[in-house]
Amino acid sequence: MTTEIAMLDCDGYRSLLAAVEEDESKGSMHDYRGKLQWAIDRAKHYASKTGLTAEEILDSWEAKRDYWYMNYYQEARQPEIKGDAVRIFDTVEELRNYIGSDGFRCPMCKGVSTSPTECNSGVELDLIDGKHGPCNWKVYGLFGHLGRGVFVFVKEKVAGQNIFKPVAWE
């Protein structure tokens, strides 16, 4: 495999490549090299959008990865940075200042939650399980993609997360 990042001194690449090579040695039918290339391409994409290097991005992802890379590297975890549903911040403090203290809009009940990832608005509605009660929508999980709000990326942490849209951004 010859990619720019493969030739660079990058712990993240070496770690991911070792995992790919171990899986390949088992003779399974997955496209391990395709997933490796996807992770490299996505790290380059993040680098172009954040001003960080692809090596910094991949090193950070690999340092935080604690489960199989075939499941870890995917659109839901490392979404493309595009459109107005993505915001990039230099520091956590900058993110906190920009969010403010007005709470977060739940995409399910439209109430205001104090949690950026789990609705605690208290708005009563018919829940997915057929019961009636306070909204308990979450930004993650099986149906998270239906209403995750926004993706925020903090450069100092080299990390991103889906959160409900802050009320201050409306």
Out of 75, 103, 121, a domain closes at 75
| 45: containing domain | 1-75
Q: Looking at the 3D structure of the chain, how many domains does it have?
A: 2
- Whether residues 166 and 97 fall in one domain: yes
The upper half-sphere exposure of residue 14, i.e. CA atoms within 13 Å in the direction of its Cβ, equals 5
pTM here is 0.80
pLDDT at residue 150 in the model: 87
Q: Residue 2 pLDDT more than 50?
A: no
Helices 11-25 & 54-64, crossing angle to 10 degrees? Answer: 60
Q: What percent of the chain clears pLDDT 70, i.e. is strictly above it?
A: 89
User: Which tens digit of pLDDT belongs to each residue from 36-60?
Assistant: 999 999 999 999 999 999 999 999 9
- Whether residues 35 and 97 fall in one domain: no
- Whether residues 67 and 16 fall in one domain: yes
- Whether residues 43 and 26 fall in one domain: yes
Q: Which of 95, 113, 81 has the alpha carbon at shortest distance from 156?
A: 95
- Whether residues 167 and 101 fall in one domain: yes
